[in-house]
């Protein structure tokens, strides 16, 4: 079994890392550059930086901030937010990003996934999906979870893979910020359908939730924000726990 990845997420607005619950009630938690550097020192496997209001506000991700964050890191670094065309991706990769995540743009223009994979390689392409479950049906949302769209979670994830996505980053809007655990049933279903790695996001509240998402949820990586930002769990503590549970991680 491949080592499971622990990925802190920096949701950034106006240069500051922020965090909310169920995609609302946003509050600031610190400087993005400083937090990114600290997680790299702690031994995080990767880092995700999402400019959470770029798509909604119709602007580009802050390339200069990406440069500053990348300068402090020695681990893979994924960037998303406000990406609509190939030149946006080229600019972010040139600024130091290792992978690029697209969400709203992928739904609005699915062929962008094909173009990214063809021009840069699937290994650089992360398709993020924010979805909410209502009455047993999972539907996707765009613009930072503000706008529902006519895309069913599992069929859209399958299409994204077929178009050339190298990874899926699935955030359960029902679980986001609640600290009640990941959407393991949905994640396991997605894992059984797909051959590319799945990053689980939304709901991490303790170390047991990570063990569950890697076993029951069959996720390849677990992403979290609150528990790391507020120092409820550190990356080394989490990895030591998972190792003790027989779950392979990079120590």
* Catalytic sites, residue numbers: 11, 130
Q: Look-up: residue for tokens 């080592």?
A: 3
Backbone angles phi, psi at 131, to 5 degrees: -140, 150
Return d(Cα 236, Cα 6) in angstroms, integer: 10
Strand, coil or helix: 169 = strand
User: Under a CB-based contact definition with an 8 Å cutoff, are residues 129 and 169 in contact?
Assistant: yes
Rounded-to-integer distance, Cα 126 and Cα 114, Å = 12
Q: Do the beta carbons of residue 239 and residue 6 sit within 8 Å?
A: yes
CA pair distance 18, 225, nearest whole angstrom: 9
């Amino acid at each position: 079994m491949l080592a499971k990845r622990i990925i802190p997420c920096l949701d950034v607005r106006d240069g500051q890392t922020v965090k909310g619950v169920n995609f609302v009630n946003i509050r600031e938690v610190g400087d993005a550059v400083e937090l990114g550097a600290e997680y790299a020192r702690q031994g995080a496997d990767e880092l995700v930086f999402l400019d959470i209001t770029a798509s909604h506000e119709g602007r580009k991700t802050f390339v200069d901030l990406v440069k500053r964050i990348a300068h402090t890191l020695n681990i893979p670094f994924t960037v998303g937010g406000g990406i609509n065309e190939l030149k946006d991706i080229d600019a972010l990769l040139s600024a130091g990003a290792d992978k690029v995540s697209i969400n709203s743009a992928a739904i609005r223009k699915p062929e962008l996934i094909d173009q990214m994979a063809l021009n840069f390689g699937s290994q650089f392409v992360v398709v993020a999906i924010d979805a909410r479950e209502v009455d047993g049906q999972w539907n996707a949302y765009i613009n930072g979870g503000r706008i529902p769209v006519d895309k069913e979670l599992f069929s859209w994830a399958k299409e994204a893979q077929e178009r050339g996505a190298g990874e899926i980053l699935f955030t359960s809007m029902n679980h986001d910020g609640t600290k009640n655990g990941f959407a393991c049933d949905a994640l396991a279903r997605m894992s059984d359908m797909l051959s590319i790695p799945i990053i689980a996001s939304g709901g991490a509240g303790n170390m047991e939730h990570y063990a569950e998402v890697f076993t029951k949820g069959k996720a390849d990586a677990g992403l979290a924000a609150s528990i790391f930002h507020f120092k409820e769990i550190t990356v080394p503590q989490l990895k030591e726990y998972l190792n003790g549970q027989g779950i392979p991680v990079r120590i």
